[in-house]
């Protein structure tokens, strides 16, 4: 994959395969992580419907017929930094990025939205799911 | 790269317990040490909610223990330092304050009869270097605040001690992004594993000091770095206390305060990337002892200390076709 392909249908398909074949997700998400969340990349929103630590499906442009617990929002440039093989400081992990946005009031970082309790109840599996974007983006996935 | 050992190797670390009076109460404190008895004492403080195992790679670094008596302790309630047996500690929330923290460290140094020790700590252990320099500058030869800042708000979070959250896991993985992704995955995972060993409520209680009680933004002129040299060394990937925060803190203190950025490393330098940290910190220690001719640079890079970085990025092999 290359950075220019971030967010395409093929990119999401590759990412889904990466998550669903990840050994750590199998340990930490199996039977536990079934909270749907969305990803906003600029003006584009994709809903990830999770089932037992796997991405069951991804839904571009979700509507009121869909359900989610939380989301991650950021502009496209920030996501492109996040998925770099060696991302820059503060855009290298979701809590790091969210902290710089909400506590330090800086622009150019990701922000979490939605149900904080569910985020923390599933933090490790959710965090791993996002980190695997970097694996998929840099040909580390299946 | 982590050390390699063989069957039967015994690491030269000794563990002991010492009794220390804190607030008029006896506390049984566990500590580990290595180095010559007459070496320069180097007292090492772990991060919030963790324990002395964070320092195990420094404790076995022969280049350091040849000259320094490296001592790493568990604060009360952490690691092997159980709560005080004479107190009904279970009827109170555990809450760390600056006064309690400094008293523990100074009384520990007294109990171990450490003469002119160097203090070094990371995160909450880094921030407390400012209070030590303010209140006890005569007790230490030098203070090294790793990941130190005048103010580090926003991490006193209710979810870190909540009955409907797996706090064992959350306390650890809330910190995952504090480390540099290019640090070796094995040592990053071990750092988080150490976090998962913490007792309920202790991490959050420590963070009361770290994110609420500690605020030196308007008190930096009280810090006596001219009496006791103060080094502020912050990792490039530390999003809580950035290298820029360290520079501003040192500038606010003035004489005797030195800020240095550790490149390509994060908030848990001694445990997330021991090889790189051990090389970096020897440059700082050489400055403390006067063995370094040149001033410390503004930024220390891996190349400066002859370290080749671990494979970058999230290591995961692409499966064969």
Contacts of A139 in chain B (CB under 8 A): 318
- Residue B112's nearest CA partner among B37, B54, B8 is B37
Which residue from B182, B239, B312 is facing A90, i.e. has the nearest CB? B239
Cα–Cα distance for residue pair B15/B12, rounded to 1 Å? 10
Which residue from B173, B312, B316 is facing A127, i.e. has the nearest CB? B173
Classify residue B86: in a domain, yes or no.
yes
pLDDT at A29: 78
Parent domain of B292: 19-305
- Look at residue A140 and tell me whether its pLDDT is greater than 90: no
Contact between residue B314 and residue A134 where contact means Cβ atoms under 8 Å apart:
yes
Phi (first) and psi of residue B310, to 5 degrees: -60, 155
Q: Work out the minimum CA distance from A31 to partner chain B, whole angstroms.
A: 15
- Residue B289's nearest CA partner among B133, B108, B117 is B117
Contact between residue B149 and residue B124 where contact means Cβ atoms under 8 Å apart:
no
Query: Would you call B215 helix, strand, or coil by DSSP?
Result: strand
What is the pTM (predicted TM-score) of this model?
A: 0.95
Classify residue B2: in a domain, yes or no.
no
Classify residue B9: in a domain, yes or no.
no
Classify residue B12: in a domain, yes or no.
no
Q: Is the ipTM of this complex over 0.85?
A: yes
Does the beta-carbon distance from A138 to B313 stay under 8 Å? Answer: yes
pLDDT at A142: 45
Average pLDDT score over chain A: 94
Reported as a single tens digit per residue, the pLDDT across B31-81 is 999 999 999 999 999 999 999 999 999 999 999 999 999 999 999 999 999
CA angle B193, B19, B95 (to 5 degrees): 55
The two beta strands, A54-60 and A111-114, are unpaired
Low-confidence ranges of chain B (pLDDT < 70): 1-2, 310-321
Q: Work out the minimum CA distance from A98 to partner chain B, whole angstroms.
A: 10
Distances (CA, A) of A41 to A10, A13, A73, A112, B163: 16, 16, 7, 13, 34
Q: Which residues pair with B299 in a beta bridge?
A: B261
Q: What's B115's domain CATH number?
A: 3.40.50.1820
Which residue from B164, B177, B181 is facing A86, i.e. has the nearest CB? B181
Secondary structure (DSSP) of B286-299: HHHHT---SPPPSE
CA nearest A95 in B: which residue? Answer: B177
Lowest mean pLDDT of A19-28, A69-78, B30-39, B215-224, name the range: A19-28
Tokens of residue B159, six digits: 């979810």
Tokens of residue B66, six digits: 């040849």
Tokens of residue B69, six digits: 């008596």
Contacts of A95 in chain B (CB under 8 A): 174, 176-177
- Our measurement of the distance from residue A12's CA atom to the centroid of its chain's CA atoms, rounded to an integer in Å, reads 11
Tokens of residue B171, six digits: 């306390």
Which residue from A22, A97, A124 is facing B169, i.e. has the nearest CB? A124
Sheet holding A54-60, edge to edge: A54-60, A44-51, A37-41, A70-74, A111-114
pLDDT at B314: 56
Contacts of B169 in chain A (CB under 8 A): 123-124
Reported as a single tens digit per residue, the pLDDT across A30-53 is 778 999 999 999 999 999 999 999
Which residue from A95, A100, A142 is facing B319, i.e. has the nearest CB? A142
Contact between residue B221 and residue B249 where contact means Cβ atoms under 8 Å apart:
no
Q: Is B162 on the interface with A (CB under 8 A)?
A: yes
pLDDT at A139: 80
Interface test with B, best of A21, A85, A95 (most B CBs within 10 A): A95
pLDDT at B311: 59
pLDDT at A141: 58
Class of residue B198 by CB neighbours under 10 A (exposed 0-12, middle 13-18, buried 19+)? buried
Query: Which H/E stretch holds residue B25?
Result: strand B25-34
Q: Work out the minimum CA distance from B176 to partner chain A, whole angstroms.
A: 8
Contact between residue B313 and residue B306 where contact means Cβ atoms under 8 Å apart:
no
Query: Would you call B261 helix, strand, or coil by DSSP?
Result: strand
pLDDT at B309: 83
| Mean pLDDT, range A101-105, rounded to an integer | 97
pLDDT at A32: 87
Distances (CA, A) of A68 to A49, A110, B15, B139: 8, 18, 50, 56
Kindly give, in sequence order, each residue whose CB lies less than 8 Å from that of residue B154, ignoring residues fewer than 6 positions away. Answer: A99, A102, A103, B211, B240
Classify residue B7: in a domain, yes or no.
no
Classify residue B198: in a domain, yes or no.
yes
Classify residue B155: in a domain, yes or no.
yes
How would residue A3 be classed by pLDDT, with cut points 50, 70 and 90? Answer: very low
Give how many domains chain B has, as a whole number: 1
Q: Is B178 on the interface with A (CB under 8 A)?
A: yes
pLDDT at B312: 58
Classify residue B320: in a domain, yes or no.
no
B23: left (phi over 0), alpha (psi -120 to 50) or beta: left
- At the fourth CATH level, the homologous superfamily of domain A9-139 is SCP2 sterol-binding domain (3.30.1050.10)
Listed by start position, the domains of chain A span: 9-139
Interface test with A, best of B157, B185, B239 (most A CBs within 10 A): B239
Alpha helices in chain A (DSSP H): 9-20, 23-28, 76-82, 94-102, 116-121, 123-137
CA nearest B154 in A: which residue? Answer: A103
């Amino acid at each position: 994959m290359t950075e220019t392909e971030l967010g395409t249908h093929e990119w999401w398909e590759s990412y889904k395969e990466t998550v669903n074949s990840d050994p750590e997700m199998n340990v930490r998400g199996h039977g536990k992580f079934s909270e749907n969340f969305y990803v906003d990349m600029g003006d584009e929103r994709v809903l990830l419907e999770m089932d037992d630590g796997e991405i069951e499906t991804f839904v571009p442009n979700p509507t009121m017929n869909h359900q989610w617990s939380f989301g991650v929002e950021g502009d496209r440039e920030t996501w492109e930094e996040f998925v770099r093989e060696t991302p820059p400081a503060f855009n290298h992990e979701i809590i790091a990025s969210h902290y710089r946005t909400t506590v330090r009031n800086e622009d150019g970082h990701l922000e979490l939205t939605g149900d904080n309790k569910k985020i923390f109840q599933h933090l490790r599996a959710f965090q791993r799911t996002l980190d695997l974007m970097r694996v998929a983006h840099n040909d580390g996935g299946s | 790269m982590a050390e390699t050992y063989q069957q039967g190797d015994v690491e030269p670390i000794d563990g002991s317990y010492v009794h220390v009076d804190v607030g008029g109460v006896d506390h049984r404190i566990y500590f580990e040490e290595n180095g010559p008895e007459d070496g320069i004492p180097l007292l090492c403080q772990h991060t919030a909610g963790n324990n002395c195992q964070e320092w195990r790679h420094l404790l076995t670094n022969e280049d350091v223990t040849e000259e320094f008596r490296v001592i790493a302790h568990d604060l009360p309630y952490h690691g092997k330092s159980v709560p005080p047996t004479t107190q009904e500690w279970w009827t109170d929330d555990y809450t760390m304050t600056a006064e309690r923290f400094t008293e523990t460290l100074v009384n520990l140094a007294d109990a171990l009869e450490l003469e002119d020790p160097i203090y070094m700590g990371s995160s909450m252990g880094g921030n407390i270097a400012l209070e030590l320099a303010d209140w006890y500058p005569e007790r230490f030869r030098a203070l090294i605040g790793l990941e130190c800042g005048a103010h580090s708000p926003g991490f006193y979070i209710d979810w870190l001690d909540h009955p409907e959250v797996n706090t064992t896991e959350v306390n650890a993985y809330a910190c995952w992004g504090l480390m540099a992704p290019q640090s070796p995955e094995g040592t990053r995972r071990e750092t988080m594993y150490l976090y998962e060993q913490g007792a309920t409520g202790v991490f959050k209680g420590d963070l009361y000091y770290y994110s609420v009680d500690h605020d030196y933004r308007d008190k930096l002129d009280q810090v006596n770095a001219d009496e006791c040299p103060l080094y502020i060394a912050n990792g490039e990937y530390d999003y809580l206390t950035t290298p820029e925060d360290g520079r501003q803190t040192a500038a606010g203190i003035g004489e005797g305060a030195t800020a240095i950025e550790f490149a390509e490393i994060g908030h848990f330098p001694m445990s997330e990337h021991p090889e790189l940290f051990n090389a970096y910190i020897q440059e700082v220690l050489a400055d403390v002892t006067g063995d370094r001719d040149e001033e410390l640079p503004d930024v220390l890079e891996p190349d400066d200390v002859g370290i080749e970085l671990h494979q970058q990025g999230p290591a995961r092999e692409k499966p064969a076709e």
